[in-house]
Structure formats: C-alpha cells, structure tokens
Chains A and B, each alone.
Chain A
Amino acid sequence: MITIKKTFSFVIIFLFLVACSSNDSEPTGAEEGTENNEQTAIEGDLSFYTSQPDEDAQKLVDAFKGKFPDVNVEIFRSGTEEVISKIQAENQAGEVQADVLLVADAVTFENLKSEDLLLSYKSEETSEIPETFVDKDGMYTGTKVMATVLAVNTEKVTDLPDSWNVLTTEEAKGQSIMPSPLYSGAAAYNLGVFTRNDEFNWDFYEKLRENEVMITEGNGAVQQAVAAGEKSYGMVVDFIIARAKAEGSPIDLIYPKEGVPVITEPIAIMKNTSNEAAAKAFVDFVLSEEGQKLAAEIGYTPIRKGVDAPEGLKSIEEMDVLEAELSDLYQARETDKEEFNSMFGDQ
C-alpha cells in the first residue's frame, strides 16, 4: 500500500511539473505564430461578445461570413451586464478573450476606454454616421439607434398621450412601470439624461415616485406588464414594443414631443485582439450600408444616414434626441444610481 501511495504522490508531482513547464514554452510560441499570419489575410477565429438577441447576432454573423468565408466567428451573447462582467473577469484572470464587443450604451464603453481595454480604429464608414455617435478617439462607434419610448396598453388607454408628463398625472397614478437603473444599463442611461435635462431633472423622478411608479428588473418585464394590462404606461426601449405590436399584442409606442433618450449599441475592438484584421473587417461590415440595411431588416433603427428605419419605428432624422454630455454621464453614473436609490428606497 505504501508503494501505491508513493507512486501516486510521484505521479501528482510529475503532472504538476509538466503543467508548469509547458506553460513557459508552447502556447506563447504558437500565439506569436498565428498573430504574424493573420496580419495579412482576413481569416482565422474571431470572438464576438454581444448583448444583441441571439437570432439577430446570428444573422449579422452569417451575413459577414458570406463576405469573409475564411473567418470563423464565435458568438458569446448575454445581457450587457453579464457580458461586461465576463470581460472584466477575463481581464483580471489574465487576458480578455473577446476580439469585438457590441453592447448597449456608450457610457459602458467610456468605462472600458478609461481602463485602456479598447483599440483605436477609425473606420472609413464612420463618415456616413452622425458625429455625436462616433467616439472622437476612434475607440467605439454606434451601430444602431434604440430610443426609450412611452409604451401604452391600447385596451386601457384610448386617448394616446404625447408627453412624458402623462406619467406624472393623476390618471397614471399606480399605472406606470419602468426598469430599475440599478439593473438595466438603458435605464441607468435614461436616468442620467433625464436628470441633466432642464425640462425634467430630478423633480421628474420625484414626481414619478409620488405617482407610485413600479420599478422592475428589466425592459422585458415592462413590456409584459404593459402588454398584459397590469399597467397602462411604461418607459421602455422601442424595439421590443415594436415587435410585440407587430405580433398583435395590445400595445403601442409613442415618441413623446420632448424627445427621447437613445442608446446606440456601439461596437469596439478589444485592445489585445489576436485577429486585428478580421476584427476591423467586421466593424467595417456592421457600419457599412449593407450591414445597416440588415439591421433595419431585423427590426432596428439604423444609425447610418440614408438607410430607412423599419416600419413602426422612427428614423434618426425624424426623432428628437434627448442628450447629455457623455463624460458627465460616465463620471456621475454611480452617484446617480445612489441618488435614485435613496429617493426610491426610503423604507
């Protein structure tokens, strides 16, 4: 028995040594080799992390592969919060595995930019995209326009409102719903924009609270509550309402006259990408006329000038955008959330 034990511990030590020694030599050499090859041709593996719904991401990748069949694109898809957590964890554990990243809003990218995780790339396609949606250092570029709109249940609300202020009226008391900025990136963005807008600022949220607005985890829950008639009004991203409406749900979307906050689902290349050429080709494709038409086909408002919005949604030229200085939003996001939390969490 003692021999067995001895042999066993020897095997373990041996395995450990093998593991240690192999870590110095092979993989690094292999990596350098592939990097050199991929500088020239557009081929190889490309890891794409995104928060777009799975089907939409797949359609985008399929179209890209139609043009660059030698690139093998691997998709990782999850909610924006999960995708960013994953990237941060990979970064802390050693090396970010993503090559290209496409998630909800510019503020998130500002954060990654400040941590020096992004690669600067000024695509030629950006000339056709409104300047405000392109980062001036070329770190990231908006890919579509997603407005937060007012959703109404058409069975409960017959007289369609035209202003955000309907949410603070007597008739909407206990009848409105919105996602929590603590959980939804889009809602956190909206909070920053509304509170920095003179017409609204924190008073608007204070009135919403007094009017017993319900706070939920995400946009999906808002759509469900309004479609089911549990609530009459909701603050929610436009495309899921347009989809539900197209399917036949008793729901409608309104672009209030004061304007709408928009997020742009920017795209960026990660700094330590192992396939820069393919990553650049992918970004170019997403921003190109072809890529933008595809986005419109799938059901999003495209960001490129001259490409029409899908039915039921307004194009970027038609909508009034509520905006705020990005760097302010980025700096203040934590304090905004805390302020929101103390306002709504007084129990």
Chain B
Amino acid sequence: MVRSATNTGNRLFMYSPSFLKIIGFIVVILIFFIPIVRLIFLSFTSEGGLSLEHYYEVLHSPVTWRTLFNTLIIVTGSTILSVILGLLTAWLVAYTNIQNKKLLQAFIFLPFVIPSYITTLAWTQFMGVNGPVALLLNSLPGNLEPMNLYSLTGIILVMGFSHYPLVYLLTISVLRKIPRELEMAAKVSGGSRFTSFRKVTMPLALPGIASGGLLAFLASLDNFGIPAFLGIPANIRVLSTYIYEQIIGFGPSAFAKGATLSVILGIFAIIGTLIQWLLLRRSKQFETSREDHEPRIILSTKKRVIIESGLWFFLISTSLVPLLSMTSTSLIKAYGLDFSLQNISFKHYEFILFSSTKSQEAIQNSLKLASIITLVGLFIGTFIAYLRVRQPSFFNKTIEGMISIPYALPGTVLALAMIFTWLEPLPGWNPGIYGSIWIMYIAYFTRFLILQIRGSVTSLLQIDVSMEDAAMTSGASSYIKWRKILIPLILPGVLSGAFLVFLTALTELTVSSLLWSSGSETIGLVIFNFEQAGYTTHSTAFSTIILLLILVGFLAIFLIQKLWERKVFHNGNRD
C-alpha cells in the first residue's frame, strides 16, 4: 500500500507537469508568440516584400541613436533609483522598529496607484516657478532655483518615484522570511551589521530585488506618460514616445517603422530579463515557513525619530503632494481658480457619482476585467512560475522572456499587434473576438501575466525543493502537496503579484484606448475622455474616487491575508 501510493505520487509528479506543459506551451504560443511574430514580420516588410530596409533606415538615423541613448540612461537610472528606494523602504519596514508601518505602507503604494499624468503634473507644480520649493529657496540666501524637471534627471526622478513600490512589494515579504538565526550567526562570527547585510540578507533577498527590479525596468521602458509630459518640452525622446511619433506619422511605412523600433525595444526587454537571470543564479534558498513581523533591529529612540522623520518627509513629498494636488483640483469649481473656501465645491463628485452613467459602467467593467484577469493569471501565472523555478530549462526561460515583452512594449504597439493577430487569426476568418469585450480580456492577460509570474517566482524561489521531496516521500499526491505545503507557504507572495495585476489592470489606458468597443469603457478611458474634452476637474474627481476605492480594496486584502495567516499557523504547521 505504502509502496503503491508513493508510485502514484511519483508518476503524477513525473508526467502531469509535462502534460500540462503542452497545454501551457500552446496557450503561450497562441497568445504571446503570435503577436510578437506578427510584429517582427511587419518590421521586415516593405513594399517590395521582405527586406532590411526599415532597419537600415532606422539605424542610420542619428535621431534613433540619440533616442536609444536617452532610453538607456533613463531606464537604467530610474531602475536603479527604484531598487534603492524600494529596498531601503522595505528593509526599514521589515527590519527596524519604526512605528506606524501600516500607514507607511499605504503611503508607499500611492505613487503606483495615482495615474502617472497626475503625478507628473503635481511634480511640475511642486517644482514650478510659483511652487512651494521655489518659495522656500527664495527665502534662503544665495541664488538657488528649483530643479528643472523637464530634463533627463527630472524624468529619471519621477519615474523612479513612480515605480519603486514594485520593488518594495516584491522585496518586503522576502525580507521578512529571511531566518534571523542566519543573520545572528553572521554577527556572532564577528561580522558587522553591514557584513551580515551583504553576505546574508542581500543574497537571500535577491529573488525579490531581481523581480522587482525587472518589473521596474520593464515599466520604465513602456512608460509613455512621464517622458511625454516632461520630455517633449525639453525635446528628449525615448523609445516609447519615438514609436508613438512614428505610428501617428500615418505614412505608408509608419507601422513598419514603429514595428522596427518595437523590435529594438523588445531587445532591451530581453537584455533586462537576461540580467535578472544572471542575478538569480546567485540567489540562495532556505527553509522557512513564515513571515517574521517582529523588528530585528531595535533603534534607539533618537535614531528612530530621525529615521522616521526622514522617511515621512520623503513619503509626504512623493506620495501626499501629488495626491493632495489631485484632490484639491477636483474640489475647485473651475480649473485654475485659487484653492480657497468660496471656490470649493463638490459638484464634480456629484456629477461622477450620480449623473454620469458612463463612470459607473466603467467602474463595473474595469472591476470585472481586472478581477477575472487576476484570477486567471493567479493560476496560470503561478503554474508557469512553478515550472520556471523547478525546471529552469532554456525553454522555460525563453517562455518567461517572451511573456515579459508585452509588458515592456508601449501600449499602442501591443494594441496594434493585437489587432493584427485577432481581427483575422487565420486569413479570411474573423471570429468576432476583435470588436467584442474578449479582445480586452486577451490583451490584458497578455500584458499583465508577467506581474503574476514575478510575484509567484519570487515566493517559490524561497522554498527549498526538499520541502516538496519531503511531501513526496511521505506519500502525498501532487494535489495534496500544493494544497498542504506549497499554497500556504507561497500565498503572501502570490497575492502580492495578484495585487499588482489587479491594480494595473484596473486603471489601464493605452491598450484599451485602441481596443475598446461600445459598452466596454474602462476607468482609464473615462478619465482620458474627460481630460481630452477639457474637463480636468471631472477627471481628477473620478481619479480621486478610484483611489479611495483602491485604498478600501487594499485594506480588505490586508485583512484577508491576516486571517489566512492566522488560520495556517493556527493549524500547527509551524515546527
């Protein structure tokens, strides 16, 4: 009996992944590979047939090289900034005894949730000629001027501030799981706190840092809003804005040129993924089962207060200022009036909440889209992540690289590739997917799956394979192994990934703006619409409402996570 049970377990273990792998392979080919192939094919197409004409033309233009140079600087700079900020904040929250951690965490997420055009606008006002920074500097001696945000440095700063929550989110649970015994051991052996950080904490936290860093990198590559707002006045182009310029050139070769540049951008994304693989090689696994929420470093009150004030100053200027600027705009009767008592009105909120049926439909649509994508992604993404971690073959890595490209491509390009692929998946056959809500589901899935995979990979990397082996030798089936061992252990990290998918899908704009059809308006589209029609006050009011909804949702997830942890550890899984 015992013997046969072990056998079934082993057989399932050996065969079921390969069987599921085929399904996974086909899905990935269909959904991820074909749009990319169509795009690559397009970049080689010219009027006379296949040729390298567009590459020749694009690579011979000095503008392209300047653009590539700018992109490299901006993406690298903002990724480094995001990693430093994300790691630092995560380390402080996870390790030290600073107070009000939950509140801090909520503030850290804000920049990620506020639409980037609002963040950018708030920053330019903050640093503007009449802004608070200028006033402060004027009162000081010397001829100090606020920083010019319409510059490479400005773009790097705003992007870094917008994307560091990605690193924070993927690092925090990793840090909490690092066994404190290891760090103590390092200390006891005579290492300083820094040595222990470098030799123990960093290598163990690497899965989180690399995942978060990769996502920040990809997000910076794709970002259009920030370089468009801050780059156009300074005549700074990056790949995403340059591609947009090419596509709206409308000429006969516009798409082909855009596709050519997109292929170049895809190469950037793949290089980023490669660097991440190299980093992960050096990461270590460990056996730990729970997050450790107790502070490990007790700071003296004086030190703590200094660090806390520094952190709060940073968070208030990067999170609260944009938020307040948005909220205050939504409360003024008309854009441009002073923020004073007689100019305050709630009429924009009234309009959004009670008169505008479009807004309510959009909230419903986006919620539906985001939750279904999150749920589907949760399963498929975690499964791909599992294959990727346990069988890191070249093939599995390639799949991961492929899945990361749609997240890095500018939304417009991905949407165009979707039209090419899904209008007539087979020549002459239009199944009606394009033009219905289904194309949105497919596009969102394609774009955001990588977020789930990164979240799941991060938590799976931390679980040593011996845990699974132990389950196997004790005769557990695949199902039992997942149900009893893996899921409880990886859940916090997996949920972080799901949280990212949900948030980004909820406010997505660029892909939707080319693919939506009547009745499938999303939140992003409605905001974009108000903005384009000149109703800034409506768009900010709507954004504020969405932000409040997200905060409420965030709180709910937090509570569920807490309940789950209590349940898991109550059952005596510990020890």
Contacts and interface: CB of A to CB of B under 8 A. Distances in A.
A317 interface: no
Interface stretch (B1-9, B80-88, B249-257, B440-448): B249-257
Which of B130, B251, B423 gathers the greatest number of chain A CB atoms within 10 Å? Answer: B423
Interface stretch (B93-101, B182-190, B363-371, B424-432): B424-432
A89 interface: yes
A102 interface: no
Given A224-B335, A227-B336, A347-B235, A4 B19 contact: yes
Most A C-beta atoms less than 10 A away, residue of B250, B435, B516, B531: B250
Which of B22, B254, B420, B429: most chain A Cβ within 10 A?
Answer: B429
Contacts of A29: none
Interface in B331-358: 333-337, 358
B330 interface: no
A54 B19 contact: no
B335 A75 contact: no
Contacts of A226: 336
A195 interface: no
A229 B339 CA distance: 13
Contacts of A176: none
Contacts of A244: 334-336, 534
Contacts of A344: 235
A214 B124 CA distance: 14
Given A89-B255, A247-B334, A95 B513 contact: no
B419 A81 contact: no
A215 interface: yes
A84 B533 contact: no
A226 B129 CA distance: 14
B519 to A, nearest CB: 8
A111 B121 CA distance: 35
A68 B517 CA distance: 21
B513 A78 contact: yes
Contact of A217 (B229, B235, B533, B536): B229
Contacts of B531: 220
Contacts of A310: none
Given A78-B513, A180-B232, A215-B233, A93 B424 contact: yes
A85 B412 contact: yes
B532 A1 contact: no
A162 interface: no
Interface in B498-522: 513-514, 516-518, 521
A49 to B, nearest CB: 10
B44 to A, nearest CB: 14
Contact of B426 (A8, A19, A337): A19
B229 A78 contact: no
Given A92-B255, A243-B534, A215 B232 contact: yes
A75 to B, nearest CB: 5
A153 interface: yes
A82 B412 contact: yes
A85 B228 CA distance: 19
A59 B248 CA distance: 28
Contacts of A90: 419, 423
B429 A85 contact: no
B91 interface: no
Interface stretch (A34-42, A119-127, A248-256, A277-285): A248-256
Nearest to A93: B423
Contacts of A217: 228-229, 232
Contacts of A5: 19, 22
Of listed A28, A76, A243, A334, residue having the most chain B CB within 10 A: A76
Interface in A227-252: 227-230, 239-241, 243-244, 247-251
A227 B534 CA distance: 11
Contact of A251 (B23, B336, B526): B336
B128 interface: yes
A229 B336 contact: yes
B536 A224 contact: yes
B537 interface: yes
Contact of B335 (A20, A247, A337): A247
Contacts of B535: 243
A345 B22 CA distance: 51
Interface string A39-62: 000000000000001111000000
B15 interface: yes
B335 A82 contact: no
Contact of A81 (B26, B248, B518): B248
Contacts of B533: 53-56, 240, 243
Given A1-B15, A90-B423, A247 B537 contact: yes
A13 to B, nearest CB: 12
B384 to A, nearest CB: 19
Contact of A345 (B26, B128, B235, B532): B235
Contact of B428 (A23, A79, A220): A23
Interface residues of A, number: 71
Best-buried of B121, B248, B529, B535 by chain A (most CB within 10 Å): B248
B121 A216 contact: no
A228 B420 contact: no
A148 interface: no
A328 interface: no
Contact of B419 (A77, A93, A215): A93
B518 A23 contact: no
B495 interface: no
A217 B244 CA distance: 12
Contact of A94 (B19, B250, B255, B423): B423
B316 interface: no
A241 B430 CA distance: 43
Contacts of B534: 53, 220, 223, 239-241, 243-244
A66 B342 CA distance: 42
B69 to A, nearest CB: 13
B337 A250 contact: yes
A224 B533 CA distance: 12
Contacts of A88: 250, 254-255
Nearest to B237: A345
A223 B421 CA distance: 38
A183 B245 contact: yes
B149 interface: no
A304 to B, nearest CB: 23
Given A92-B420, A183-B245, A228-B335, A79 B532 contact: yes
A22 interface: yes
A344 to B, nearest CB: 6
Contacts of A218: 532
A12 interface: yes
A23 B419 contact: no
Nearest to B129: A230
Contacts of B235: 215, 344-345, 347
Contact of A97 (B121, B416, B435): B435
Contacts of B172: none
A248 B535 CA distance: 12
Contacts of B229: 216-217, 221
10 contacts: A20-B426, A53-B533, A54-B358, A56-B533, A94-B428, A216-B232, A220-B531, A224-B121, A227-B336, A228-B125
Given A28-B428, A56-B533, 19 more contacts: A5-B19, A23-B426, A24-B428, A76-B516, A85-B248, A88-B255, A92-B255, A94-B430, A97-B423, A182-B245, A183-B244, A224-B335, A227-B334, A228-B335, A240-B533, A248-B333, A251-B336, A337-B249, A345-B235
